[in-house]
Structure 1
Amino acid sequence: MAKKVAKTNAVRLIEQQKIAHQLFEYETDNGEAVDGITVATKIGQPVEHVYKTLIATAGKGHYYVFVIPVAAELNLKAAAKAVGEKKVELIAVKELLGLTGYVRGGCSPVGMKKLFPTFIDASAEALDFIIVSAGKIGMQMKLKPTDIAHISQAAFAEITV
């Protein structure tokens, strides 16, 4: 009998919208987060298709979600320009759970507590699929970039270094 996968908010939303997806699960030491390149290796997928979700702020109440390749860095100036702010900075890890409902290493751009303005790196537009966190450490989901953009009301922008 196959092991039943515990559904996260992200997976529930994707399924409710009947969006085609594939789930990947992987093991970690003590359930701790691992870097995205390691995740790509663990799930046997090309690193250029695996994306991470970062949360930035331009001050109290101004939060933004950025989805970028795991091997890239967020360009804070480009990110600020994309969202129409003078400056943005990444939030502290301790703020992540309360703000999004997700932990570091398990933060998905889909199914956060609140829908924040979301931007996916423009590099995703050239890909057939990208893989993002499915809402918990040890689980990833593969979807079309346009499907992620649709469900998270995201725009594509040049936001990486």
Structure 2
Amino acid sequence: MKTNVMRMLDKAHISYETATYVYDEKDLSGVHAATQVTVITPEQCFKTLVARADQNNLFVFCIPVAKELDLKAGASASGQKRMELIHVKELPVLTGYLRGGCSPIGMKKNYPVFIDQTAMRFDRIGVSGGHRGVQVILAPDALAGFVQGQFAPLTRADGAQ
């Protein structure tokens, strides 16, 4: 199955691989998905989160699935004073994607994208292919270039509150 994300990458001549997995409706966490994708390590799987700085300013963050977004770091990276994650019910309206299938590629609007700097440690990372159960695997630089994203420290240090 070709998703819109794949069509967009094809049109831009960006090299990627796909990985499909059986998703669990009861556990849509990125960690669960990462354990199902066998062509890359779980550390290379990134989840996509959307946060709001104010009524009209939304930002997209790609972070490792086992990590938590540090909202202060996200605000700092995006030049905002503060932000909060959007409610999951808002996701389809604002992005066109469902929880568990949210990709930084091909959202309804071109929101600013920030990718955790740990992505640069890898030759390739996985992000959602735009549908639950589908990952696209590509070079972090290719992803950043395509979505005009920036690399930044975005996650809480292990054990930090």
Pair in the same fold by TM > 0.5: yes
Q: Where does 1:1-161 land on structure 2 (aligned, <5 Å)? A: 5=1, 7-29=2-24, 34-44=28-38, 45-161=40-156
Shift of residue 34, structure 1, vs aligned partner: 2.1
Partner SS for 2:111? coil
Shift of residue 33, structure 1, vs aligned partner: 5.4
Alpha-carbon distance in 2 for matches of 1:27, 1:139: 9
Shift of residue 39, structure 1, vs aligned partner: 1.2
The unaligned stretches of length 5 or more in structure 1 are: none
1:81 alignment partner AA: S
Give percent identity, aligned residues only: 46
Q: Is the 8 A contact 1:33 1:137 kept in 2?
A: no
Shift of residue 28, structure 1, vs aligned partner: 2.4
- Runs of 4 or more consecutive aligned structure 1 residues displaced over 3 Å after TM superposition: none
Partner SS for 1:140? strand
Partner SS for 2:129? strand
The unaligned stretches of length 5 or more in structure 2 are: 157-161
| Cα deviation 1:15-48 (Å, max 9, x = unaligned) | 101111001111124x565222221221213111
Alpha-carbon distance in 2 for matches of 1:114, 1:8: 17
- How many residues matched? 155
Alpha-carbon distance in 2 for matches of 1:155, 1:104: 23
Partner SS for 2:67? coil
